[in-house]
A and B are shown apart, each in its own frame.
Chain A
């Protein structure tokens, strides 16, 4: 029952934004368009003609191209080969690589999508991979382009570029369907907005008739509290974690960092500049090649890819919670884990963290993205860790889900016995809203941002310039 009486109309030449909380059915609705999910009821018309999209290939033949939230790329192959995979047109057995490369380069130039064609996809950051995905779909010249949360992984400068691109693609006469979780982006680019709530279309209106307040109320039924935090005075507590001269391959070099209890240190940067490695070193998930790390034994880690690293999707909620507890003697009796106690604990945690699921025995794969993230956060924070490392913790979450994560992090740095929080995020607004102090990571090096430059423009410039020092 992911969808119940949902409606959606897309017009050629228009950008149509689809909004909704996690679990509202956005992805399901779009998957129906892509031929991945088959509706039990209802109709789909293209140019007035009723069609049934039984397979992704049928959807493609009807001119619908979808860029998924989770990428469908082959890591071991080059970008060009991945583009060739998405293609399947003419040429018989021969693969016209030079022709395809030319076409890709021209298209990339025209729409402003820059990707290294010869690099293996596995070596690219998430942002770059997404550009490859978009380019792959655009090469098929679809008349309906579906983008599922495309801005979630991009840096601010890239987001503007993408929105511009989306506008241009609509001007070319395509219908563009855009799922986004950031209201300002939607308002900047959309001609028409549809809001889904619990599988139903609750609002459909032209852009001119809505504002952020109306959309937010339609999505959650009430206006969420705005996030507000004023950076406190510098913490005088002892450092919880201390890095000295840390190097990881070529990805991270000469990193010194101290984080004290009671502060949130924000680390901003464009995807692929070493955040991934930094997060794992801080969280004790990997050792650096050089340098020293002094930190607590059991730091909490909220990884950005919850479906791969944060959870085991085939496991129940209880088992996923147990991933964080199996080491703790209180949850063991001899060689056995105390499953009934763990189930009771899971039921408690579901209450406390507002995880919507059928019960502790439900599989994690049955949860929406937001509820999955709540589960990860619940597991990682349950032991009152002294250090919390959060890597793009609100990626792909809706307003309510993101607010929940933010509130939880803020809670943990308040009070008498606060934790230290490191927030690594490509979302500049998030970093600026939460962090007491901000650093940018550029090409594997950390640069502190002076307080007077802690603005969107100031940090954004540092992210791109290399900390003002030059390479």
Chain B
């Protein structure tokens, strides 16, 4: 995983490669690629309503988890656990949201979001501690904690938090006051989108220009140099980036609950936290780039069901296309690097 500072050209090349491979695969599968892509694009972008209520709504969790992954990777923390942190955030958000009726209206939404942020950070704190105190690699621990979080959510909606009639495996809806306001009236696009875009901008500015962002980049690029030449507290920087990454992923869960589903149920996330890795890598781990790639993946996922309806291509193909994106990014990154090395040798 070395998608550092992938320039725009490489990102576009990766995209072109993905499209070519996907078209070839569709053709092999017996589906006319043009028709399938056309249906996908119409479904995702065909009308203002589709763009706003389908694609951008789908973009929000990808954007937040994508930022979470990008930040962690920039700090040299391989957080594969955005999915679990998202679920932790969703659980906390629902729990607070269910009890938020008693809160004054202006406090309910912040309370729900704060709960999700805190829970996401707490879920990330476990692997962070294991990494820093015991030297346990975070790739394994964050990945495994995903399954714990997913199963925890499943157990909650079958047990303690199940809606009172006990029919559906989901919670009751959260209090009206705890729901995110809509960004555009008569659409499904909620304020979480604005929050996510602002966070991307803030993160980009911090990483590029601030002292703390500089520390994160230095620690991610070379811990020995950060420690020795930069006199930076490497462990604290790693811990901080890890927790903030978890908090962002937790917020994705909170925003989904407070803005889209209003309840917790099984399979709340169709793997946003994993897709986020592709989102972040394709963006070259740059927060502003993540906005672009998150929208791109929002288009893919938003158009998937339309593609299934009108072109008869199963929506699962979109998962395959997303996987192709990761592979293309890695291949293009390597090739670009090789070209660079061949052009400019060192003296």
Contact = CB atoms under 8 A, between A and B. Distances in A.
Contact of B221 (A312, A336, A368): A312
Contacts of B209: 336-337, 339
**Max chain A C-beta neighbours (<10 A), residue from B206, B217, B346:** B346
Given A319-B214, A323-B229, A323-B230, A314 B4 contact: yes
A25 B347 contact: yes
B229 A324 contact: yes
B215 interface: yes
B225 A311 contact: yes
A368 B347 contact: yes
Contact of A28 (B211, B212, B345): B345
B226 interface: yes
A310 interface: yes
A376 B229 contact: yes
Contacts of A335: 206, 210-212
A37 B211 CA distance: 38
Contacts of B49: none
A312 B345 contact: no
A105 interface: no
B228 A301 contact: yes
A163 to B, nearest CB: 25
Interface string A1-41: 01100000000000000000011111110011000111000
Contact of A303 (B206, B217, B218, B228): B228
Contacts of B270: none
Interface in B302-347: 341-342, 344-347
Contacts of B214: 319, 322, 326, 337
Contacts of A313: 222
Contacts of A324: 229-230
Contact of B346 (A301, A315, A332, A368): A368
Contacts of B222: 308, 311-314
Contacts of B347: 2-3, 22-28, 199, 368
Nearest to B222: A312
A38 B229 contact: no
A285 B83 CA distance: 38
Interface residues of A, number: 43
Interface string B196-239: 00000000001001111011011001101111111100000000
A199 B211 CA distance: 39
A320 B214 CA distance: 11
Nearest to A314: B221
A379 interface: yes
Given A24-B347, A335-B212, A327 B221 contact: no
Interface in B218-273: 218, 221-222, 224-231
Contacts of A235: none
A326 B215 contact: yes
A322 B229 CA distance: 10
Contact of B231 (A24, A322, A327, A332): A327
A285 B221 CA distance: 19
A285 B346 contact: no
A36 B215 CA distance: 34
B211 A336 contact: yes
Contacts of B227: 285
A28 B346 CA distance: 6
A337 B224 CA distance: 22
Contacts of A314: 4-5, 221-222
B225 A309 contact: yes
Nearest to B210: A335
A366 interface: yes
Decide if the interface of chain B is mainly helix, strand, loop or mixed.
helix
A23 B231 CA distance: 29
A25 B346 CA distance: 7
A322 B230 CA distance: 8
A315 B345 contact: no
Given A309-B224, A323-B218, A2 B345 contact: yes
A336 B206 CA distance: 8
**Max chain A C-beta neighbours (<10 A), residue from B217, B224, B228, B341:** B228
A384 to B, nearest CB: 17
Contacts of A199: 347
Contacts of B221: 312, 314-315
A305 to B, nearest CB: 8
A323 B210 contact: no
A332 B345 contact: no
A323 B228 CA distance: 9
Contacts of A36: 345
A311 to B, nearest CB: 6
Nearest to A32: B345
A32 B230 CA distance: 35
A72 to B, nearest CB: 15
B215 to A, nearest CB: 7
B228 A309 contact: yes
Contacts of A326: 211, 214-215, 230
Nearest to A331: B211
Given A326-B215, A326-B230, A335-B212, A310 B345 contact: no
A337 B225 contact: no
**Max chain A C-beta neighbours (<10 A), residue from B224, B226, B341:** B224
A2 B344 contact: yes
A26 B342 CA distance: 16
A192 B137 CA distance: 52
A37 B210 contact: no
Contacts of B342: 37-38
A405 B343 CA distance: 31
Given A323-B229, A327-B231, A335-B206, 7 more contacts: A24-B347, A26-B347, A285-B227, A308-B224, A309-B229, A315-B217, A335-B210
**CB-based closest 4 A-B pairs:** A323-B230, A37-B345, A28-B345, A309-B228
11 contacts: A2-B346, A3-B347, A38-B342, A301-B228, A308-B225, A309-B225, A312-B226, A323-B230, A326-B230, A332-B211, A376-B229
